[in-house]
Amino acid sequence: MNAHTHPSITNASTEVASCASLYELFLRAVQKWPDQTAFSCMGVSFSYRETDNAARAFCGFLQSRGLKPGDRIAVQLPNVLQYPVAMLGALQAGLTIVNLNPLYTKTELVHILRDSKPKALVTLANVAHVAAEALREEPIDTVVVTELADLHPPAKRVLINAVVRHVKKMVPDYQIDSAISFRAAMAIGHRNLAIVHPGAPDDTLLLQYTGGTTGLPKAAILTNANLMANITQTLEHLDGCINEGSECWIAPLPLYHILAFFVHNGLLTALGGQSVLIPNPRDIPGFVKTLKTTRFSGMVCINTLMVALMNDKGFRDLNFDALSLTITGGAAMTQDVADRWRQTTGCTATEGYGLSETSPLVAANLPGQEVIGSIGKPIPGTEISLRDEDDAVAAPGEAGELWVRGPQVMQGYWNKPEITAETLTSDGWLRTGDIATQDENGILRIVDRKKDIVIVSGFNVYPAEVENAAALMPEIAECAAVGIPHEKTGESVCLYVVLQTSNVSAEQIQAHCRTHLTPYKVPSEIRIVPDLPKSNIGKVLRKELRGMSAHVSQGN
């Protein structure tokens, strides 16, 4: 895309930087664009003013239940209108948001409720049976249960909720004695005048749980100042590529994930933009149906979802005239996916990199100057340093652990002083655990997770390098490499492969890898599987693959 298709937003970033909190940023949007659409979902739209009115009612309800500034509220919702209403209502009440994945198991839910001790929980009826089990171990006084269409007009609400509950049988029975329905809570709130707490920079905005693949989830403590700094940094980075008052972005990634939370509750709010919420992005036909009726200018996506969309004829037939920015993250984009996306949509995908611990953005390509497979350069106000095994600065051109310092870096992990001390240095550097390289032009590439390195006869093998080589085979749809024990070399590489077509063998894949990789990097085992285990946002779960590999026979 042309990096200068939009006017400068320098004034906007200056105004945003002066906002003390995320709620104050939202108020600015309400005052500046009261009648612009803020959020839409399943054919229903809320303007900034309507969203604010609904949020004030929810704030009034929370205050009627005795919640005070500094208390925590757990929000366990997919991408529906109730999410921004509950979140903004909680922020008005001065509460801290604890984002929860609706697909958490009882065990995961109990751990987070026990760790964060929220005073209230907002959950979806479809998953309330799991919440009910968790609440028997970790009771919460105020529990609000919402149905999918609770903020839709009456006739549509009754119809959709009835179909979901009685026809599709998507709401298992549950019993939560303390529960109140979302609509009843809103009715109470409308009668109870909300006392708004606009929030201060040092207030904890989010407890963002992360790191479940490396043990029990831990919560990054993110303040208003962290998020507001990252929004300002991103506006400066994208100056000339986005516009105030006219952006319409699709929201397929879940709002409880830090990237989607940041974009759709922060960046788009700063621009007075519209977020089109997609409750279930796995329903590709339903997703495409929404896109058909929407003139959208942006989308935040990940590799796997982009592939699923491009494989759908309905998506390929859409009008992409308005699409000027596709932001991707989560995993490195392959050249093949990048090329197909550009050919399909006319828009070049722009890769970025971030973490829950950095609110989230650290680095990104500049639209119009993308280097595929890289994460671009650090965004304004962000320092990076590559460190070797001894924490010394890595030699020029050498791979090293990526350290980050900047105003977006978290305050630490909730209730985890030891892990905080291991992750944050005394002078403010965050050890990301990711291995990166930086070329002479300053372009960064994530080579791999530190813990995912495979050591073959003393040599480091980065799974991403093996995967990129294997993915050059057109017959391969997806692949993931992990280390497995090997009696001669200590470890060897095992490659899991999902095929586009069935006319290729493990031996052919191995032969292909030999032409692209030095011998010690070539997978000793190729395992062809129907699919790869993935997290809710599409990241490959290497931990599960390593478990599957435990019984793989040793290679030669």
Q: Return the pLDDT at 108.
A: 84
Comparison of pLDDT for 219 and 240, the residue scoring more: 219
Residue 327, judged by CB atoms within 10 A of its CB (0-12, 13-18, 19+), counts as buried
Cα angle: 519, vertex 520, 526; to 5 degrees: 85
Residues with Cβ within 8 Å of residue 295, at least 6 apart in sequence: 248, 319, 321, 322
Q: Return the pLDDT at 11.
A: 73
Domains of the chain: 10-278+295-300 (3.40.50.12780), 453-551 (3.30.300.30)
Is pLDDT at 552 greater than 70 in this prediction?
no
Return the HEC string of 311-365.
CCHHHHCCCCCCCCEEEECCCCCCHHHHHHHHHHHCCCEEEEEECHHHCCEEEEC
468-507 confidence digits (pLDDT tens): 889 999 999 999 999 999 887 888 999 999 999 888 999 9
382-435 confidence digits (pLDDT tens): 999 999 989 999 998 899 999 999 999 999 999 999 999 999 999 999 999 999
Q: How many residues does the chain have?
A: 556
CB 372 within 8 A of CB 333: yes
170-217 confidence digits (pLDDT tens): 999 999 998 999 999 999 999 999 999 989 999 999 999 986 434 568
How confident is residue 543, by pLDDT bands cut at 50, 70 and 90? confident
117-127 confidence digits (pLDDT tens): 999 999 999 99
| Proportion of the chain above pLDDT 90, given as a percent | 79
Buried b (16+ CB within 10 A) or exposed e, 495-534: bbbebeeeebeeeebbebbeeebeebbbbbbbebeeebbb
Q: Which whole number is the average pLDDT over 347-358?
A: 95
Is pLDDT at 331 greater than 80 in this prediction?
no
CB 262 within 8 A of CB 86: no
Sheet-wide strand order for 525-528: 476-486, 490-499, 525-528
Average pLDDT, the chain: 92
8-30 confidence digits (pLDDT tens): 666 778 889 999 999 999 999 99
Q: Return the pLDDT at 555.
A: 38
Q: Return the pLDDT at 8.
A: 61
Residues with Cβ within 8 Å of residue 275, at least 6 apart in sequence: 38, 39, 40, 84, 249, 251, 263, 264, 268
Cα–Cα distances in Å, from 447 out to 327, 401, 494? 20, 10, 18
Q: Return the pLDDT at 457.
A: 77
How confident is residue 551, by pLDDT bands cut at 50, 70 and 90? low
CA gap 117, 72 in Å, rounded: 7
Is pLDDT at 40 greater than 70 in this prediction?
yes
How confident is residue 133, by pLDDT bands cut at 50, 70 and 90? very high
Is pLDDT at 6 greater than 60 in this prediction?
no
Comparison of pLDDT for 11 and 325, the residue scoring more: 325
Question: What residues are paired with 348 via a beta bridge?
Answer: none
Q: Which whole number is the average pLDDT over 38-49?
A: 98
